[in-house]
Structure 1
Amino acid sequence: MILCTGRQKMILDNNDGLLLIRHDHLYERDWRNDDCYKLIFSPYGQAEYQLSQGDISIGQNEFFIFNPNIDHKQLKATKEKFLVEIQPSLLKETALQLGFKVIEPEFSLLSYRHAQIHQWTSFIRDFLMINKDSNPMSNQLFLENSLAQISILMLQYGSGSHQNQFPKIISKQNINSVLNALKESYQEDWTLDQMSLVAGMSKYQFAHLFKEETGISPYSWLQLYRLFKSQQSLIFTDQTILTIALEHGFNSVSVFNHLFRKIYNKTPTQFRSIHRK
């Protein structure tokens, strides 16, 4: 069903979720708490949201996924807001079909860039704007298939409790070489100089290109990879938090705890307790 179309806003909606494109009301709005997953994509520039645990900034061509029942407020969006809402029942069904061990994923509080998400959102935005006055049944069928597609993409490329590594990125060859090297020895102490040597570039060129490709810095990527590799040990083993932290490349349990709080707004112990249930 098409709820609303117009020059400033378009919404397509069904029982599994909705797609929204709007060009008005892009600055501060009221606090919200929704019972669905929400993917926000920023096509033109920075979008900012306020959460109880801090502000989230979404750069151009980056995305962020809100988990259900998270208090948040939109502070601003540049030129356009692109939003996808997915009901938990659809995401859970998709996770089951894809064989994920954690079938009720908790996405990390992290915005970043991924080519497949970018390509999907670009196609969806163009299609909706071109066909906004098309046959309603055609748009309804398009919505049903689109929500199924983005559910798969969110699970494959959205970082969270269901992942045992940072989502795969198809990048330029010199960046891919570094990513592969980091994955093979992520427990080791890497420096920016060592990473840039693998890439065959100066460290300044490398750092700039890495951030341009992924939306995050090389060291942040490495720390996130360590964190996501550790999640399976938290959920499916009885190892101590200290042992898990050290085995996955963290210098101390306090660094591990700090990063976990930043990404999930909870400690590793709390994360373990919730996801074991």
Structure 2
Amino acid sequence: MILNNNNGLLLMRHDHLHERDWRNDDCYKLIFSPYGQAEYQLNQGDISIGQNEFFIFNPNIDHKQLKATEEKFLVEIQPSLLQETAQQLGFKMIEPEFSLLSYRHAQIHQWTSFIRDFLKVNEDSNPMSNQLFLENSLAQISILMLQYGSGSHQNQFPKIISEKNINNVLDALKDSYQEDWTLDQMSVVARMSKYQFAHFFKEKIGISPYSWLQLYRLFKSQQPLISTDQTILTIALEHGFSSVSSYNHLFKKIYSKTPTQFRFIHGN
């Protein structure tokens, strides 16, 4: 089923789940994987989207769908709508660049579950009611993407609400993200065994504890990168990275560009 208007579209289908051709769309595109193991090929490398995880393509990114399990669900948002929403929400970065990262977030999951159920039940409903539903849905997901999608408009990893022991670890990491945390130290805060904690964290968040910490450091570094003249080395070390090379490597993986290139594009 497809619902579309000038601001974007909602698509859910259970056939043609493999694409042979490369695509390059002039819109933002959110992919949600309800059953897991969705895979896309990019020039920068392959992206795997696990169960109940989401991924956001920026406009004009070459990509090809390799695999989707049972269902393909996506939302396309025209840049003008996302930029208008960003401006209304007070984001300084009104042309956000989302990171090349898939993960889980409860609010995105809840929204997509509701939309998918609506599309299944109302496939043959009144076209006008479907269009009104689409218009409101695109506005809602634009807000959710900006609030919970990691990218250039964020100065930290989007807030995630989880079980108390996981939240305790997240709070501790945020308070001292520059420190050299180990998995053992994190598991003590969570009051779990090291292996139980690592598995539980990955299950709830979609990424490993150390990956979350590194990403939090990266997103915290974006503001001084954009708004100050500090050297890349200084910013890397002040935000908990062991070396400028590890900072550059992660930045390139997340944005397909170096911190210097990111500064040039998004700097004031």
TM-score by length of 1: 0.96
Q: Where does residue 88 of structure 1 map in the other structure?
A: 79
**Partner SS state of residue 83, structure 1:** strand
Within-5 A mapping of 1:41-52: 41-52=32-43
Task: Give the C-alpha shift of residue 29 in structure 1.
Answer: 2.5
Post-superposition Cα deviations, 1:30-50, rounded to whole Å, max 9, x if no partner, equal: 100000000000001210000
Post-superposition Cα deviations, 1:181-237, rounded to whole Å, max 9, x if no partner, equal: 000000000000000000000000100110011000000000000000000111111
Asked if 1:154 is matched to 2:173, the reply is no
Task: Give the C-alpha shift of residue 166 in structure 1.
Answer: 0.3
Task: Give the C-alpha shift of residue 255 in structure 1.
Answer: 0.4
Asked if 1:269 is matched to 2:267, the reply is no
Asked if 1:177 is matched to 2:168, the reply is yes
Post-superposition Cα deviations, 1:128-187, rounded to whole Å, max 9, x if no partner, equal: 110111111100000000000000000000000000000000100000000000000000
Within-5 A mapping of 1:21-100: 21-100=12-91
Q: Where does residue 5 of structure 2 map in the other structure?
A: 14
Q: 1:221 aligns with which of 212, 216, 219?
A: 212
**Partner SS state of residue 211, structure 1:** helix
Root mean square deviation of aligned Cα: 0.7
Instruction: Give the number of equivalent residue pairs.
Output: 268
Looking at structure 1, the residues matched to 38 and 200 of structure 2 have their Cα atoms a distance apart, in angstroms, of 22
Q: Percent identity?
A: 88
Post-superposition Cα deviations, 1:100-134, rounded to whole Å, max 9, x if no partner, equal: 11110000000000010000000000011101111
Asked if 1:111 is matched to 2:102, the reply is yes
Post-superposition Cα deviations, 1:227-257, rounded to whole Å, max 9, x if no partner, equal: 0000011111111101100110101100000
**Partner SS state of residue 180, structure 2:** coil
Looking at structure 1, the residues matched to 16 and 89 of structure 2 have their Cα atoms a distance apart, in angstroms, of 37
Mark the runs of 5 or more structure 2 residues left unpaired by the alignment: none
Q: Where does residue 207 of structure 1 map in the other structure?
A: 198
* Displacement over 3 Å in runs of 4+: none
Looking at structure 2, the residues matched to 176 and 53 of structure 1 have their Cα atoms a distance apart, in angstroms, of 32
Asked if 1:239 is matched to 2:230, the reply is yes
Q: Where does residue 7 of structure 1 map in the other structure?
A: none
Q: 1:196 aligns with which of 174, 187, 190?
A: 187
Looking at structure 1, the residues matched to 213 and 32 of structure 2 have their Cα atoms a distance apart, in angstroms, of 24
Task: Give the C-alpha shift of residue 21 in structure 1.
Answer: 0.3
Asked if 1:138 is matched to 2:120, the reply is no
Mark the runs of 5 or more structure 1 residues left unpaired by the alignment: 1-9
Looking at structure 2, the residues matched to 190 and 64 of structure 1 have their Cα atoms a distance apart, in angstroms, of 27
